[in-house]
Amino acid sequence: MTGRKQPLLVICGPTASGKTGWALQVARYFPVEIISADSRQVYRQMDIGTAKATAAEREAVPHHMIDLVDPDDEFSVADFVDIARPLISQIIERGHFPCLVGGTGLYIRALLGGLAELPSADPQLREELHQQERAAGKGSLHRELQCIDPVSAAAIHPNNTVRVVRALEVYRLSGRTMAEFQAEHGFADQLYRVLKFAPLLDRADLFQRIEKRAGQMLKDGLVDEVRGLLQRYSPQLKSLQTLGYREVLRHLDRPDGLAKMQEEISLYTRQYAKRQLTWFRKDPEIIWVDSSTESGRVLKSIEEFFCR
């Protein structure tokens, strides 16, 4: 590979769109190893709510970037990049093909193009910002960010306090906005030769899949998984205040808990999927394909990509 960019197949898109199924199908024809690009599958003990590949699927095809840290550990996009990059080289050295699969758009973008050089974290400032949010009320930090950095504010959901705090932290430490850093960096220096696919589903089909997945997670034991986590960890952990887990925590032990859990998991997952679609549709390199009718064309493209 000397002098050439390493090849990387990317299968991305919104949650519940069938990305893992696609990757497993590709693995029937090519010697791929799957690299998860999911910000929550890195956590051990959080299996059902993060829709990790099953033990059988992981036995059939090597999976990476899963079960790396405990739920109370910090894990950042920079950590993801630091681990995933040498992993890609190792997969290629084994004579296999790396296949990045997931819906965390920031992880994918950072891995492909690198990270802007941002100021290091300041724990004291972060705590001050969180205290400010608690004192002034939910959404107050996002409103502040809208005034300082409207570009970043538009890309961050008001409820995503972690990212809002990080954007304000960058500004207070440097006097420059996150958007300015990212525009300067541009994510232009792509490190790999990339082929990107995403499953093409109409919204009704996607929402139906989300509804079905929410119900299946609860049938598979998501509530018991959460109870087990609560025996070891605080419910206030950042990892446990994410989609699926926070809804179970909210309605745990209530008489109508299961119905409310499924209703809210479905609702908030649909909202999350809409944001993911907005993110990925801005990427002109992504080829959106219908797996039911275009699998042959996809496999042919992958063969040509890896063999050239």
Angle 292-295-296 (CA atoms, 0-180°, nearest 5)?
135
Q: Are 258 and 223 in contact (CB under 8 A)?
A: yes
By three-state DSSP, how is residue 157 classified? coil
The values of phi and psi at residue 67, to 5°, are 60, 50
Low-confidence ranges of the chain (pLDDT < 50): 1-2
pLDDT of residue 122: 85
Residue with tokens 């036995």: 59
Kind plus residue range of the DSSP H or E element containing 197: strand 192-199
Q: What is the pLDDT of residue 178?
A: 85
Residue 289 is inside which H or E element, if any? strand 286-289
Domains parsed from the chain with CATH numbers = 6-114+187-307 (3.40.50.300), 123-185 (1.10.20.140)
Annotate 13-35 with three-state secondary structure. CCCCCCHHHHHHHHHCCCCEEEE
Given its phi and psi angles, is residue 202 left (phi above 0), alpha (psi -120 to 50 degrees) or beta? beta
pLDDT value at position 296? Answer: 83
The predicted-structure confidence for 13-48, as pLDDT tens digits, reads as follows 999 999 999 999 999 999 999 999 999 999 999 999
pTM assigned to the model: 0.80
pLDDT of residue 1: 42
Residue 185's pLDDT is: 62
pLDDT tens, 90-132?
Answer: 999 999 999 999 999 999 999 998 666 778 778 899 899 999 9
* Residue 42 contacts residue 80 (beta carbons within 8 Å): yes
| pLDDT, position 3 | 58
